[in-house]
Amino acid sequence: MNKRLLTSGMLTAALAATSMVAAAPAIAQADDPKGVVINEVESNADPVGDWVELANRDSEESVDISGWSILDDDDSHDPIVFPEGTTIESGGYTSIYTAETPDGFGLGGNDSVRLFDADGEIVDETSWEGHAATTWGRIPDMTGDFAVTGAPTKDGINTAEGEEDDTETKPFPGGEFKIKDQDLGGDFADEDMSGVDFDDEGNAYVVNNGTGTLYVLTYDAEADAYSVKQTFELNYPDGAGTLDAEGVTVNPDGSIYVATERNNDDSSVSRPSLLHFELTENEEGTLDATEEVSLKEFVGEIGANAGLEAVEYVPEIEGYAVGVEATGDVLFVTIADGKATLVDTYESPFEGVMALDYSDGVLRALCDEVCQGRSVELTFDGEKFVSDGTIFDRPAGLDNFANEGFASFTDETGTRYLWADDGVADGVSLRSAFVPANPAGSIPDPLGSLGGDGSTENALPALGSLAIGGVAAGIALAVSNGAIQLPQI
């Protein structure tokens, strides 16, 4: 989701949503360029998109920045020009999303932002290498050098990295995770890998939101490694378009649905749809969707790049859970004759729901690096999916990557996990973990008295029963073999 574009006319809406104020009597014309600075940058997009925050360090006077502009590191891009009457109040902030027109630009992992005054003179600039886990901002606020911040604070005071987070969380369930980089090379060395899912055989399906490509991966258990089996270019039903493919789920019949935000060939227009595809036996090729199911009536007016991020088949409703980036909602829908029916909506505690995974009656909804990779669990209460409010941390050992895809697969050997990193941090877009069913050194529980979560609360009674049962069985066997003579009564 890097280099993102938003809807046409977003400039007006973006500026209206910031802290800019109307002209006041005491307005400086920014003769001192140091009075206005770039203060914070979001290069990996919040639920709406990439943004740049400016700050007015003058604590007494507002500043008129009419005709000023910002630009990334590419001089071929059109600069974003602040319209007439744009001011920043004394000691205040203003932020804009960096794709206000169809020709607008997004911000990449290795990029810059430059600020120019109305005469085209450069006022301030900053560059970075790799997307910040949070944002890239001045520490201390307004006056310090640029660094990774503690949290995004658009139009607010920057916080330092490492400040305490008071969100109550629990560890990610499933035991100890050893995270492994999956080096598939080729397309997997590039950014924009997004949704992930497994089929019943343990094959993995991954979609790319920049190219609209689907990859089917096979798994080598001995090497604990994945490899590309099939590659498909996905199109709309008319055979055209480049899908912003964000999520994927495998249906019970082996077909798939892909969650999309827009057509990348018309990137300023929101197009939140689920697209159905029938896979072929070919190793590669082009697939046209058999149907497009619009969810626009359920998501409302949202940014072109803030729509459907995830989709997951859930058997309890014989339908689908769909994650929405802009709202943080999970929509539950059923589909018939190419039309979706909204069954229920779950409002998550996250800014955006970026991934979904269903396993053994539990639906997990995850946020990305914006929320530290946290997640919640939803279970079906007979009528709808509900959460008890517990928020889970990402697994220990997994850094705060821009994970927009997550999936798990369990068989008799254990559970496999996959994360798709949209930001391809450290050149890696796919990471995995494997938790064996019976880790080395674990004690079998033949009586089933250990906790289902792996707890050992009842371990001693279980072992005692096992020991007593073993002695009794040994005595019975000895008696039956004549090794022990019981007295006649």
Decide which of 20 and 114 is more confident. Answer: 114
Residues in the chain: 489
Amino acid letter at 226? Answer: Y
Start-to-end CA distance of the chain, whole Å, equals 84
Q: What are the pLDDT digits (tens) for 163-190? A: 656 778 999 998 789 999 999 999 998 8
CATH topology of domain 180-436: Neuraminidase (2.120.10)
CA nearest to 173, candidates 376, 6, 353:
376
- Mean pLDDT, residues 450-460: 42
Strands (E), 289-429: 291-294, 308-314, 319-324, 329-336, 339-347, 355-359, 362-366, 375-380, 385-386, 403-411, 414-421
Residue 409 has pLDDT above 70, yes or no: yes
CA nearest to 44, candidates 103, 132, 115:
132
Tokens 């911000």 locate to 107
Task: Report residue 60's pLDDT band, with 50, 70 and 90 as the boundaries.
Answer: low
Residue 409's Cβ-count burial label (10 Å; 0-12, 13-18, 19+) is: buried
DSSP 381: -
Residues 6+ apart with CB under 8 A from 393: 169, 170, 171, 172, 372, 373, 374
Tell me what pLDDT residue 69 has. Answer: 93
Torsion of CA 369, 370, 376, 380, to 10 degrees: -110
Structural contact between residues 307 and 261, judged by C-beta atoms closer than 8 angstroms: yes
Tell me what pLDDT residue 122 has. Answer: 94
Tokens 């497009």 locate to 292
Tell me what pLDDT residue 167 has. Answer: 78
Tell me what pLDDT residue 91 has. Answer: 75
Decide which of 49 and 464 is more confident. Answer: 49
Tell me what pLDDT residue 180 has. Answer: 97
Residue 453's Cβ-count burial label (10 Å; 0-12, 13-18, 19+) is: exposed
Q: What are the pLDDT digits (tens) for 95-140? A: 888 976 666 788 999 999 999 999 999 999 999 999 999 999 999 9
CA nearest to 44, candidates 3, 74, 14:
3
Tell me what pLDDT residue 59 has. Answer: 66
**Predicted TM-score (pTM) of this structure:** 0.65
What mean pLDDT is reported for the chain?
Answer: 83
Beta bridge partners of 38: 54
* Angular region, 274: left φ>0, alpha ψ -120 to 50, beta rest: beta
CB neighbour burial string for 293-318, b if at least 16 within 10 angstroms, e if fewer: bebeebbeebbbbbbbbbbbbbebbe
* Angular region, 267: left φ>0, alpha ψ -120 to 50, beta rest: alpha
Tokens 């955006």 locate to 352
CATH of 10-148 among 3.30.70.60, 3.40.50.970, 2.60.40.1260, 3.40.50.300? 2.60.40.1260
Residues 6+ apart with CB under 8 A from 211: 187, 192, 233, 242
Residue 89 has pLDDT above 90, yes or no: no
Structural contact between residues 151 and 402, judged by C-beta atoms closer than 8 angstroms: no
Residue 84 has pLDDT above 80, yes or no: yes
CA dist 298 and 8 (Å) reads 21
